[in-house]
Structure 1
Amino acid sequence: MSERLLYLVTSPPGRGSRPRQAERAAFQDLDRVRVLTDIEADEGVMVPAGSTGTVVAIWAQGQAFEVEFTQPVDALATIEPNLLQLVERAAD
């Protein structure tokens, strides 16, 4: 343990001296995304593949995203990132 502590104290910045930062989620709030497969929305409404929506919440550090759709149906759905494709990044 003392060797590890010594390494942390004496190592140059960026080499073990800082904790790893959390990975950034694949999508951000207000990004426009496209769903890649038909999904069932939170209200039981079916959202067809290819529908675009807006990310309105990020769950569990990006393990799921709350997406609001307005066309072809009005729906809110919780979706895993592998089922989404970025259409447009939100303005910073």
Structure 2
Amino acid sequence: MVHRILTVVTEAPSSPAVGGERQGLRELDRVELLADVLADEGAPVPLGSVGTVVAIWAGGAAFEVEFTRPVDALATVDAGLLKVVSRDEPMERTGSSKAS
């Protein structure tokens, strides 16, 4: 039987590394697990799994991550167990796109 420990987050840890720099994770960042975790439904999600941040909890202390491989699951993951593998930068608006 798998037991799940509930962790109450009271303060945010230092931000995870991004390409060697210290930056916070953002929604829609692609992240990699640095340890095995349990999905919210209890399924194991193995070390090295890559997913997408879909929500930020407790000011960045934990993140809701959607995984599709090797398991299709959502997991609430401590910030210290994630590293950014890619980040989409927001597109800049350059004026009106209306045709004359």
TM-score, structure 1 normalization? 0.71
- Maintained 8 Å contact 1:56/1:65: yes
Structure with the largest fraction of helix = 1
Structure 1 residue 38 corresponds to structure 2 residue 32? no
Give the aligned partner of residue 54 of structure 2.
56
Deviation, structure 1 residue 90 = 2.7
Q: Look at both structures and tell me which one has the larger radius of gyration over its CA atoms.
A: 1
Q: Which amino acid aligns with 2:26?
A: Q
Q: How many residues align?
A: 70
Deviations 1:36-55 (A, max 9, x none): 11100100010000000000
Deviations 1:16-37 (A, max 9, x none): xxxxxxxx87200000000011
Give the aligned partner of residue 75 of structure 2.
77
TM-score, structure 2 normalization? 0.66
Moved over 4 A (4+): none
- State the percentage of identical aligned residues: 59
1: CA distance between counterparts of 2:88 and 2:53?
9
SS of aligned partner of 2:80: helix
Quote the RMSD (CA, aligned, Å): 1.7
Structure 1 residue 90 corresponds to structure 2 residue 94? no
Structure with the largest fraction of strand = 2
> What are structure 2's unaligned runs of at least 5 residues?
1-14, 16-22, 91-100
1: CA distance between counterparts of 2:89 and 2:55?
16
> What are structure 1's unaligned runs of at least 5 residues?
1-23
What does 1:1-40 align with in structure 2 at a 5 Å threshold?
Answer: 26-40=24-38
